[in-house]
Structure 1
Amino acid sequence: MSPVSRIKSAPDDPNGIVRRYAANAPFRSATAEELVNEDNPFRRPVRPHDLGFLDYGTPLTADRALRLSALLGHRMLRTVHDADLLFVPAGGDGHPSSDDAEAFRSLDNRVLALQAGQVLENHLFHWLDGERTPLEGGAEAVTRHVQDVLEERRARPGRALDVARSSRHRADAATFALTQLTAARPAVQSAVGRGLLGDYGTAHPALRGLLLDDLRDRADREAHYRALLTGAGLSAEPYAYWQFLLGSSLGGANHLHSVSRDHARIGEFLGAWVHHRLDEAVTAAAYAEIFQEAFTGVDTAYFTRTPQLTGEAVAELTGSLLGPLVERFGDEAARSFHHGFEDARRLASLGDEDLAVQLDWADRLDEYKIKAEKLDALISESGIEVDLETFVESHEETSTTHVHDDHRLVVVEVGQMHFWNNVGQMIPMDEGDKLLIPAERLHGSMVRSGTCTYHQPVISDELLSQV
């Protein structure tokens, strides 16, 4: 069980591979009617035109893991992982989903997915290699580390949960937080299902039973998952809220799928799976409380029935998983498990902070409108030169949700538009309105008037610090 390179040989044209994959019809940019998609699980808007200036041949660094290439990369990588999973279209011939289903399932798409997946994984996850803290001492040290993380997370389940609790608009914060779970929980179930497949009975006799127990528990709670979404006024259809999923929300489950698909990385898969189990256990009570307060009478049994992990239980689980691997492969198996656990831990931490910042920004848009007014006045009165993009768009022209790699103002000169950063939130912007959009914050828009002219001045960190 030697360390596995994330990409064995760099393809000659990584960006070309990604662009060819994204040219498939289900990736096309969203229309005004597709903000929420409740009847077409094959429809995955990506903003293919942005791929013309994004570089997927260069791995991301840790400080750039929430940039636009990461958001679009995780959207595409999720579709790579879903290419061989079962999704049922909403209707028969003639329904809009039928053409997307055919394109999604096509042999050409699946071949391109294999090629693009290699490029995307290297771009999205290579930075994790430099974030791990080495751990010596074999299986016993790994078990102690997992127990320590469990205790640490019990004390501090997550900053995003704290922000959601303290939000002025709690129902809005709870809605957005719940949509992020739709990016992760069903995908974890699919990844665990992948791990069940194979003939490894003599190599690891207990593994199939452990994974099957986990999969059975998730299946048993499926009705409560759907009831939770319904009670919150949301759809339980797969990827109904695709455009509102943060890249970091997609990232954790993408990583679990990546290590479950590559069978040379079984140790990493098991480590990542244990972290997902741990993360779900320590956040369950807080999620149940948040959703109970936000949505009257909502069914939160999905969380209250989440299997809990004591220090003894997580030690027993880790030992059961590692024992046969260490017996066959020695301490390298323990290191591989630790790598998977730590990578999943780092991705969960990134997702928690990303969600916390997104919730805080959405909860204080009035303050960001005031900041935008001050910045616009400062630029004008002081004659400050800034980079500027101007857009002239027609009625119902829609911007698929995205992030910017820099801070930007939105300044409407002529016309009207709708701005959104949450399910059901149509924020009107009229002539003269301004809004500050910090770097890496998910948002989209649609023109409401015949035409709309708006500007996006780029705001430096130094200029932002002055308001």
Structure 2
Amino acid sequence: MSHAPFPYEPFELHGKQLQEAVLRYASNPVYLDNEEWENDDNPYRRQLRPQVVEHLDFDRVPARSEILEYTSLAAQRILTSIYEADLVFLPDSGLKGKYEDFKNFYSPTNRALGEAVRPALERFAFGFLDQEVETSGKWTAESLEAYLASLDANLPGGATLAEKAIRSSSDPERAARMWLIQFAPDFLSEASPMIRNVLGHYGEAQSEWFKIVIDEYGYGVHDTKHSRLYEQTMQSVGLKSDLHHYWQYYLNSSLLVNNYFHYLGKNHELFFRYVGALYYTEATLVDFCRRAVSLLTDVFGDTADVRYFTEHVHIDQHHGRMALDNLIRPLVAEHGEQIIPEIVRGIEEYRVIQDIADDDFATQIAWMDAGPEYKKLHAPVWEAISSGRVTPPVAHIVEPNGELSNTHCHDGDELCHIVSGTMKFVSGFDSYQILEAGEGTVIQRNRLHGAIIESEECVYQIHSVGDYKSCLS
């Protein structure tokens, strides 16, 4: 009998196998398109648009310039669903009428299919960070301390692009609600990614990390649990607070931020990267929350319940110190300087992702505010097409009353032209234009949007113009 070891081959899905496996996962009944814009107290329903997923290529690593394209949005939506199958979600109103969805979401098949495609989707979703962050060279405990000091993470910072976009918006209340919606995937299940890292056995640091988790969960008192406070913030400004009620309004980059921490927590070989990201998050959150209190109060007045943010101002000053003194420094002392590049990488990757999300949100608000202007642009762009001066690819579509195009984006600019009927074109939460026959709108690349038909029938065309400005010359 031979005792030669069986050759080990890592599990990887590529090509057609990967495409078929992703489609099989996304075809679960709970992931099919919705007939309404919002999910009503059903945390298992998430629109993954499997009819489009089957045409997408996840077997590559996009560049940073590509990560706001539709394939990345699809990947982030799918990853959110895969990660959250590890978490327990129950509807506020109970499981009556939703028990089949509950079983479908947590079924062994759904979880197994999700885990099979997860490594490939993570490579697709986060692989660009390999090109964005470099932590080579000799790192020592001393150079780590110098690097952390250089971040000035505890000092007040200026307003972000997102915050400026809200304050300067033509509809600040709408913009602020859209902003609060973007945090819901994280804040309504707060600390869930973090809990992945307090399981196991790794000494005193484990107990120190658990103290941070306990704080996030309000020391077992439900009304002081951070996610409960965020529910009340949303409710105070007229938003629903049931989980993923606003799934269709989550931006690509908002899911990227939330999924990044699940990615680090799910893959324990990235444990030290999470330690770095945790420190930076906790250290900078205090100033962010101060600005959030000011912003929400300025926009909504005293009606905004800002306790979620004031609570973090008090607690996270302590958490930042805990992450540095009780996690980073002891772990480096125990496990050596070899882990420092990973700690630094977690910080730097999170900073890159923050910048992407900040710019993406500000751009979306500008797109929402400029809805009437993009509608006016239809005329000159349509003239260029109808005259034959430009001949872009075109899709001819006929849809009945009530047909809902679940939210998505395009990789290039498009012109929507209404031949007959009426369409409600939606560019974000509470943001829309009514398009009648002969009208239309320019759809900006990478911008989240959807539509619903409001006439008995609507005939329209989608022209893939690439860059709409090329039609104006």
TM over 0.5, shorter chain: yes
Q: What letter matches 1:281 in structure 2? A: V
SS of the equivalent of 1:38 reads coil
How many Å apart are 1:279 and its aligned residue? 4.4
How many residues matched? 458
CA distance in 2, matches of 1:278, 1:212: 18
RMSD in angstroms over aligned alpha carbons?
2.6
Alpha-carbon distance in structure 1 between the residues aligned to 2:427 and 2:257: 21
Shift of 1:403: 0.7
Q: In the TM superposition, what are the counterparts of 1:58-457 in structure 2 within 5 Å?
A: 58-89=60-91, 95=97, 97-134=98-135, 136-151=138-153, 154-202=156-204, 204=206, 206-216=208-218, 220-296=225-301, 297-307=303-313, 314=320, 317-381=323-387, 383-457=389-463
Deviates more, 1:64-73 or 1:213-222: 213-222
Residue 108 of structure 1 deviates from its aligned partner by 0.6
Q: State whether residues 41 and 87 of structure 1, in contact with CA within 8 Å, keep that contact through their aligned partners in structure 2.
A: yes
Q: Tell me if the contact between 2:401 and 2:454 (Cα under 8 Å) persists in the aligned partners.
A: yes
Answer with 244-253 or 153-162: which moved more: 153-162
How much does 1:153 deviate? Answer: 7.8
Give the Å deviation of 1:367: 1.6
Q: CA deviation at 1:335?
A: 0.9
In structure 2, how many angstroms separate the alpha carbons of the residues matched to 1:159 and 1:8? 42
Name which of structure 1's ranges 298-307 and 434-443 shifts more when overlaid on structure 2.
298-307
**How many Å separate the matches in 1 of 2:319 and 2:87?**
32
Is 335-344 or 39-48 further displaced after alignment? 335-344
8 A contact 1:285–1:303 mirrored in 2? yes
1 CA distance for matches of 2:468 and 2:80? 36
Deviation at 1:433, TM superposition (A): 1.6
Contact map agreement 1:147 1:311 (CA 8 A) in 2: no
State how far apart, in whole Å, the 2-side matches of 1:198 and 1:286 are. 37
Q: Mark the CA change 1:284 to 1:369 in structure 2 (over 3 Å): closer, same or farther.
A: same
Report if the CA contact (8 A) 1:59-1:127 is conserved: yes
Equivalent pair of 2:283/2:316 in contact (CA under 8 Å): no
2:3 corresponds to: none
Q: Structure 1 residue 324: deviation in Å? A: 2.9
1:154-196 per-residue CA deviation (whole Å, 9 max, x = no partner) reads: 3334211111111111111111111101122234421122222
Residues 27 and 47 of structure 1 are in contact (CA less than 8 Å); yes or no, is this contact kept in structure 2? yes
Corresponding letter in the other structure for 2:75: G
- Equivalence for 2:4: none
CA distance in 2, matches of 1:310, 1:187: 18
Deviations 1:93-130 (A, max 9, x none): 761x2221110011111111111211211110011111
2:28 to 21, 24, 42: 24
CA distance in 2, matches of 1:187, 1:432: 45
Mapped to 1, the partners of 2:10 and 2:314 lie a distance apart of 39
8 Å CA contact 1:231, 1:295 repeated in 2:
no
Provide the rounded CA distance (Å) in 2 between the counterparts of 1:380 and 1:57. Answer: 38
Determine if contact 2:70/2:409 at 8 Å carries over to the other structure.
yes
Q: Is the 8 A contact 2:190 2:216 kept in 1?
A: no
Give me the whole-angstrom Cα distance separating, in 2, the residues matched to 1:19 and 1:150: 45
User: Which fold has the larger relative contact order, with Cα–Cα distance below 8 Å and residues 6 or more apart in sequence?
Assistant: 1
The offset of 1:310, in angstroms, is 9.7
CA contact (8 A) 1:415 1:452 kept: yes
Flag the 1:27–1:198 CA change in 2: closer, same or farther, 3 A: same
Distance in structure 2 (CA, Å) of the matches to 1:291 and 1:271:
29
Structure 2 CA distance for aligned equivalents of residues 39 and 10 of structure 1: 36
SS of the aligned residue for 1:391 comes to strand
Equivalent pair of 1:268/1:340 in contact (CA under 8 Å): yes
- The AA in structure 2 aligned to 1:104 is F
Determine the C-alpha separation between the residues in 2 that align with 1:402 and 1:153: 38
Query: Is contact 2:92-2:242 (8 Å) kept?
Result: no
Tell whether the 8 Å contact from 2:153 to 2:280 is kept in structure 1 after alignment: no
1:139–1:322 Cα contact (<8 Å) kept: no
Determine the C-alpha separation between the residues in 2 that align with 1:153 and 1:407. 40
8 Å Cα contact 1:231/1:298 also seen in 2 = yes
Query: Do 1:46 and 1:72's aligned partners in 2 also have CA atoms closer than 8 Å?
Result: yes
When residues 146 and 244 of structure 1 are mapped into structure 2, their CA distance, relative to the original with a 3 A threshold, is: farther
Structure 1 stretch displaced more, 317-326 or 36-45 = 317-326
Contact 2:70 2:411 in 1 (8 A): yes
Asked if structure 1 preserves the Cα contact closer than 8 Å seen for 2:181 and 2:249, the reply is yes
SS at match of 1:155: coil
Q: Secondary structure at the match of 1:88?
A: coil
Name stretches of at least 5 consecutive residues in structure 2 with no aligned partner.
1-8
The 2-side partners of 1:365 and 1:393 are apart by 23
Give the match's secondary structure for 1:307: helix
Alignment correspondent of 1:3: none
Distance (Å, rounded) in 1 between the aligned partners of 2:318 and 2:81? 37
SS of the aligned residue for 1:89 comes to coil
Are the structure 2 counterparts of residues 205 and 37 from structure 1 closer, same or farther at C-alpha, using a change threshold of 3 Å? closer
Change beyond 3 A, Cα 1:203–1:291: closer
Residues 386-395 or 103-112, more deviating = 386-395
Q: 1:439 to 1:139 in 2, by over 3 A?
A: farther
Give the CA deviation at 1:198.
2.1
Q: Distance in 2 between matches of 1:90 and 1:64?
A: 38
1:281: Cα distance to partner?
2.4
CA distance in 1, matches of 2:316, 2:196: 26
Amino acid of the residue matched to residue 269 of structure 2? A
TM-score (norm 2): 0.89
TM-score after normalising by structure 1:
0.91
Aligned residue in 1 for 2:19: 15
Partners of 2:360 and 2:13 lie apart in 1 by 31
Which amino acid is 1:225 matched to?
Y
The 3 A distance-change label for structure 1 pair 146 and 323 is closer
